[in-house]
Amino acid sequence: MAVQSTHNVVVPLEQSTDQEGPYYALFNSLAGSIDVIDQSVLEGLGLLSPLREDVGEYLSRRGYLFASEEEERGQARLLYEEMLRFHRATVRQPIVVIPSYNCNLKCPYCWQRLHHLDSPVISREMVDHLFSVALPALIETSSPDRVALTVFGGEPLQEEPALQDRVVQILTLGKDAGFTNGIITNGVGLGKALPRIVGKVDVLQITFDGPPDVHRKRRPLPGGDSFAPLATAVSDALAAGIRVRARVNVDESNLEHLPELSDFARSLGWLDNPRMYFHLAPVKNHNPRHCAPSESELLLKVLDLADRDERMRAFDLSGFGGIKYFRGFQESGLFSLHRFFNCEAQINCWVLDLYGDLYACWDSAGLKHLAVGRFHPAVEIDPLALGRWRNRNALDIPACRQCAAAPHCGGGCQFIAYEHHGDHAAPACDSLLASYVQAIGRNTGWLLQRARAGDHAVGLVTRDGVVTAVNRLFGLLDESPELIDAISCS
Amino acid sequence: MTTAQIVQETPKTPISVSKMDIEALKDYTDQMAKFASGDGVVAIRICECCVLIQD
């Protein structure tokens, strides 16, 4: 007797209640499969035994049915280990350098501010040591263009001469090594930094929290203006050929102002510039004493606003994982993510700070009790401390074992899990499953079209049997590999 | 969908990564890596830090 996969999710396709319907999307995050089924198949899945033999066989091959729960758990472990290997081999290894924890802004939602992080500036000797001794020991790839070097903070582009020198030193050494260089900045000091960094940086991540007045209020610069210099510098950076990823931290307090930010961006020509890219990122609750609305509730409000106001099209919603991954599915016909880990802290990310401390996770940097070792005077890694990050996966978190989203969310952010529960191995649920359900529900027409076309992205299974089968492992790529030319995490 | 439409034959091999043995899975990820090895449009989103960038 077969059992249903733990990771099956059924989403009603509401626009399909014509004479042929109703239809449902059967989605499985372990298999990475979506098929459209009708009422008879839905009922058969619930009871299992009345399924037609060919239907049962197809649903089993697509990963919706297993011989037993033990069989599925074994397959899930196999997938986890193989996807770790694949991710390591394919995705750029993140290397993060923190030249100072000092920041000139006082954003109320900042987790670093919650922990009162501040510091002097990294020394020239420490930077030299970092590149000559530490990175050769920490970088896995022999291909330097597979390393994503990011300068992070605090704020790395402040008008502090020693900090300015060190940032240029880091970028220069990174370029000389062949890395892809990025800076995460609040943009206030970007204008004055540009002449020094042009040609040494490939991409900037800059945060906008709304139109000028909203941004200034949420990202205050004591005694100054956090927005005007940022806006001027972004245009200058784009003109200099630097890509700009504009991150918009969104919560309920600034959401309704985002269409105004869209207007502002359009007025400066940013929305027509291929080097500029806006994406929304939900503000994470780093304070366990603070009660915040769930990310899933925020997602619904974001989507509602996007429905009401076309200016929201300026913003990619990829900060909500299910929206991002479903879009990838629409482009390629496959979900490439079946992994049980949440981020590179669980794989090969290294964060190196001014003190010579080594961390696995960006967010944990500066909290010495979460360091996983040191890189100065020599590289020394604490295997137990590192293992808490690298070994965490949703397969081993009891609360995640029966969750349909676990293969993709990987237990959520483990830093937030630690902040809220004092335990890396606790779950930190976000909006992933809700965003999948929303993405599926909002693409009913596309799913039905694909299912009827039989183009190996989505199958159709009805009382008549397997009407259109997915029988190509690479979805739309088998026939049109030019659709996808590269995978990159930048 | 009407009953007059043709019901397809389904293949006898796994058509999901969650049903593959280790050898088939390695073949699958090797092929994925080939898709990833070219230059151009970035479109497969495989982790939290992925963003779409037109190079």
Residue A328 lies in a domain: yes
Predicted pLDDT of residue A19: 63
Q: Mean pLDDT of all residues in chain B? A: 61
CB A193 within 8 A of CB A173: no
pLDDT at residue A484 greater than cutoff 60: no
**CB contacts < 8 A (A, B):** 179
Residue A424 lies in a domain: no
Q: By residue range, what is the domain housing residue A157? A: 94-346
Tens-digit pLDDT profile for residues A234-283: 999 999 999 999 999 999 999 999 999 999 999 999 999 999 999 999 98
pLDDT at residue A485 greater than cutoff 50: no
Tens-digit pLDDT profile for residues A23-82: 999 999 999 899 999 999 999 998 876 788 999 999 999 999 999 999 999 999 999 999
Tens-digit pLDDT profile for residues A303-324: 999 999 999 999 988 778 788 7
Least confident of A181-190, A441-450, B42-51: B42-51
CB contact under 8 A, B16 and A28: yes
What lies within 8 Å, CB to CB, of A461 at 6+ separation is A26, A35, A36, A37, A38, A41, A55, A58, A59, A467
Looking at chain A, the whole-number percentage of residues with pLDDT higher than 70 is 95
Q: Which helix (H) or strand (E) holds A450?
A: helix A444-453
Backbone dihedral region of A422: left (phi > 0), alpha (psi from -120 to 50 degrees) or beta?
left
pLDDT at residue B11 greater than cutoff 60: no
- By C-alpha distance, the chain B residue nearest A332 is B44
Q: Mean pLDDT of all residues in chain A? A: 90
Least confident of A109-118, A182-191, A192-201: A109-118
Predicted pLDDT of residue A436: 87
Residue A124 lies in a domain: yes
Predicted pLDDT of residue B53: 31
Whole-angstrom distance, CA of residue A122 vs CA of residue A352: 11
Task: Return the CATH number at A115.
Answer: 3.20.20.70
Predicted pLDDT of residue A286: 83
Respond yes or no on whether ipTM tops 0.85.
Answer: no
Question: A462 has which bridge partners?
Answer: A465
Predicted pLDDT of residue A483: 47
- Which of A12-21, A69-78, B27-36 shows the highest mean pLDDT? A69-78
CB contact under 8 A, A28 and B18: yes
Residue A303 lies in a domain: yes
Residue A337 lies in a domain: yes
HSE, CB side, 13 Å, CA atoms: give it for residue A327.
Answer: 16
Predicted pLDDT of residue A284: 85
- Among B12, B48, B54, the strongest candidate for a mutation testing the A interface, having the largest count of A CBs within 10 A, is B48
Tens-digit pLDDT profile for residues A396-412: 999 998 899 899 888 99
pLDDT band at A175 (very low <50, low <70, confident <90, very high): very high
B→A contacts (Cβ < 8 Å), by residue, are 1-3, 5, 7-11, 13-19, 22, 25-26, 28-29, 31-33, 35-54
pTM of the model: 0.89
- Among B49, B54, B55, the strongest candidate for a mutation testing the A interface, having the largest count of A CBs within 10 A, is B49
Predicted pLDDT of residue A183: 97
Residue A142 lies in a domain: yes
Mean pLDDT (whole number) for A448-456: 86
CB A432 within 8 A of CB A322: yes
Which pair of structure tokens corresponds to residue A26?
């059967």
Cβ-in-10-Å burial (0-12, 13-18, 19+) of A409 comes to: buried
**In terms of Cα–Cα distance, which of A94, A96, A35, A43 is closest to A60?**
A35
Tens-digit pLDDT profile for residues A93-111: 999 999 999 999 999 888 8
The better pLDDT of the pair A247, B14 is held by: A247
Chain B contact set for A316 (CB, 8 A): 51-52
Q: How far is CA A401 from the centre of its chain?
A: 22
Number of structural domains, chain A? 1
CB contact under 8 A, B53 and A243: yes
Looking at chain A, the whole-number percentage of residues with pLDDT higher than 90 is 69
CB contact under 8 A, A82 and B25: yes
Residue A413 lies in a domain: no
Mean pLDDT (whole number) for A400-429: 90
Predicted pLDDT of residue A237: 97
Predicted pLDDT of residue A15: 67
- Among B5, B6, B8, B13, the strongest candidate for a mutation testing the A interface, having the largest count of A CBs within 10 A, is B8
CB contact under 8 A, B10 and A85: no
pLDDT at residue B37 greater than cutoff 90: no
CB A331 within 8 A of CB A484: yes
Residue A404 lies in a domain: no
